[in-house]
Structure 1
Amino acid sequence: MSERVAIVGGGVIGCAVARELAPDYDVEVFEKGQLASEASALAAGEITMLSSYEDEPAVGWHAVDFFREYDGTGEFSYTELPSIGLVTPDREDEKRRYASRVAADDLPVRYLEREEASEAYPTFDFSDHAGVIEHGVSGFVDPYTFAITLHHDARDDGATFHTDTAVHDLLVEDGEVTGLETEDGRAEADHVVCAAGWRTREFLLEYTPIPVRPYRTQCIVLEPETPLPDGFPMGWYPGEHVYFRPEHNGDFLIGGWSFAEENPEGASGQADAEFRNHVAELVPTFLEGFEEAGYVDGWAGVDGATPDTRPILDAPADAPDGLVVATGFNGRGVMTAPVAATAVRSLLTGEDAPFSLDTFAIDRFDTRSDDFEFISISAGN
């Protein structure tokens, strides 16, 4: 009989972990609502792992290789595009040094002068900028399609998914997890993976404190006067706390404006008027054809943040044996899902992961408190 693994949370992380483990374990996933119905479905779907893990390139390449290989699975697709960060004149020297340093580590990064950038990306107005940092390997996916495709794969390999099933407690005997207490009764398990987003801290507080706090972020989709051209990049505007990417139909998605959220259960799911106004004023300053852009849609979601903006993927030493934590993705859950799945498998089996797990270990923090300053990562490098 296979060992039993219970996963708390049916978002993109829970689905990715289930897919990774289902061939070798008896996997059950418990989701209080519908699969990928909260932060996962509301994500922008950007894949910028190489720029997010420049100090740990094996992590970034592991994710990139997965998305390239997974492209075309079912209805899932991965659209690869470069991403750019606008460079203001006061940061030109700093960003030139940055590009040289990163490129020396064989990462696909370069600095483009204003003239080069204008030629490469003619839709942009770089008159107020010295140039751009260009990351050559990045892309985007539809988050919901990605999560559901992972779910289908896991289900086909025997995983069972319980939706509309709240989990009330972790079951522990003699220092070892034995399963979960759900609204439908006990679910026996040899291992429990907690992938419950910002709710992880409260769920596990009796057993092990997790330094995660909720924050709220937003997205808006605009319809430009002319559809965005092929080759339009992804990117971010440092200092304005926004990132952006094209949609397949030529529309423009812009997100960010992230702040700590003290009332996550009651947080609005709509984009704020302040954010809409910020976008309306900002976008025409660096993009042509947006003076009369139409408003298509807007939304907001709540995710979990850690003190250093990187997730926790670990089996904490002070936690009951058999517990693995996968939380605190700081808005990068979609892009980090393949890494999280591989890390959880390594933690359960003892197999070596193809990257270091140290950057995800919970003991990197001096304190487990959730009273830390929230750091927005939407501004990019």
Structure 2
Amino acid sequence: MSERIAIVGGGVIGCAVARKLASDYEVEVFEKGQLASEASALAAGEVTMLSSYEDKPDIGWHAVDFFREYDGTDEFTFTELPSIGLVTPDREDEKRRYAARLAAEGLPVRYLDRETAREQYPTFDFSDHAGVIEHRVSGFVDPYTFAMTLHHDARDDGATFHTNTAVRNLLVEDDDVVGLETEDGRIDADHVVCAAGWRSREFLLEHVPIPVRPYRTQCIVLEPKSPLPEGFPMGWFPGEHVYFRPEHNGDFLIGGWSFAEDNPEGASGQADEAFRNHVADLVPTFLEGFEEAGYVDDWAGVDGATPDTRPILDAPADAPDGLIVATGFNGRGVMTAPVAATAVRSLITGEDAPFSLDTFAIDRFTTRSDDFEFISISAGD
């Protein structure tokens, strides 16, 4: 009989981990609501792993290779686009050196001066900028479609998914994980993977503290006067705490303005008026044809942050044996899902991962407190 694995959380991470394990283990996933109904479904779906892990390119390439290979599975698509970061004149020399260093290390990055950037991206107004940093390997996905495709693959390999099933407690005997207590009763398990987002800290606090705190982030979709042209890039506006990308129908998605959230259960699911006003004032300063852009939609969601903006993917030494923590993705859960799934499998099986797990180990933190300064990763600096 194969070992039993229980996964707490049916978001994109829980679904990715289930898919990675289901062919070799008895896997059950427990979600208090519907699959991918919270942070996963509200994500922007950007895949910028090479810029996010420029110091650990093997991690970034592992994710990119997965998305390229997974493209076309059922309804899932991975749309590759470059990402650009606007560069102010006072930072031009710094950013030129930055791009040259990364290019010398083999990463697909280059600096474009103002005139070259105008030719490459004519929809933009670079009057106030010296140029852009261009990351040539990035893209985006539809987060919900991605999560559900992972779910279907896991289910086809034998994983069982329990929705509308709250998990109350982690069950531990003699410092070993033995299962879960759900609202429907006890579930026996040899391993438990906690992929419960910002709720992971409270769920695990009795057994192992983890430095994760909730934060809230926002997105707005605008309809420009003319649909965005083919080849319109993804990108970010340093100093303004926003990122952006095109939609498939030519609309424009802009997100960011992330702040620590003290009341995550009661947080609004809509973008703040202040953010809407900020977007209305900012976008016409760097994009043509947005002075009279139409409003399409907006939303906000809550995710979990760590002190250094990278997730915890670990079996902590001070935790009960059999517990795996997969949380604190800082808004990068969708793009990091393939990496998380590989890391969790390695932790359970003892197989070597194709990248170092030290990057995600909990002992990199000097404190386990959740009282740390929140760092927004949408600043793009």
TM-score range, shorter chain: over 0.9
Write out aligned runs for 1:20-169 (5 A). 20-169=20-169
Write out aligned runs for 1:309-324 (5 A). 309-324=309-324
**Percent of pairs with identical residues:** 88
CA distance in 2, matches of 1:262, 1:89: 37
Q: Give 5+ residue unaligned stretches, structure 2.
A: none
Question: What residue identity is the alignment partner of 1:159?
Answer: A
CA distance in 2, matches of 1:199, 1:265: 10
What is the TM-score when the length of structure 2 is the normalising length?
A: 1.00
Question: What residue identity is the alignment partner of 2:180?
Answer: L
What is the TM-score when the length of structure 1 is the normalising length?
A: 1.00
Q: 2:208: which partner in 1?
A: 208
Question: What residue identity is the alignment partner of 1:177?
Answer: V
Question: Are 2:339 and 1:339 aligned?
Answer: yes
CA distance in 2, matches of 1:85, 1:353: 31
CA distance in 2, matches of 1:2, 1:77: 33
Question: What residue identity is the alignment partner of 1:198?
Answer: W
Q: Give 5+ residue unaligned stretches, structure 1.
A: none
Tell me the SS of whatever aligns to 1:55.
coil
Q: 2:255: which partner in 1?
A: 255
CA distance in 2, matches of 1:174, 1:15: 30
CA distance in 2, matches of 1:226, 1:256: 24
Question: What residue identity is the alignment partner of 2:49?
Answer: M
Deviations 1:64-85 (A, max 9, x none): 0000000000000000000000
Write out aligned runs for 1:295-310 (5 A). 295-310=295-310
Question: Are 2:290 and 1:290 aligned?
Answer: yes
CA distance in 2, matches of 1:21, 1:174: 26
Give the number of aligned pairs: 381
CA distance in 2, matches of 1:346, 1:206: 26
Structure 1 segments (4+ residues) deviating >2 Å = none
Quote the RMSD (CA, aligned, Å). Answer: 0.3
Write out aligned runs for 1:184-263 (5 A). 184-263=184-263
Tell me the SS of whatever aligns to 1:137.
coil
CA distance in 2, matches of 1:262, 1:98: 36
Question: What residue identity is the alignment partner of 2:127?
Answer: S
The offset of 1:88, in angstroms, is 0.4
Q: 1:174: which partner in 2?
A: 174
Question: What residue identity is the alignment partner of 1:298?
Answer: D
The offset of 1:264, in angstroms, is 0.1
Question: What residue identity is the alignment partner of 2:252?
Answer: F
CA distance in 2, matches of 1:170, 1:11: 19
The offset of 1:379, in angstroms, is 1.3
CA distance in 2, matches of 1:197, 1:53: 21
The offset of 1:185, in angstroms, is 0.1
Tell me the SS of whatever aligns to 1:216.
strand
The offset of 1:31, in angstroms, is 0.1
The offset of 1:334, in angstroms, is 0.1
CA distance in 1, matches of 2:94, 2:158: 51
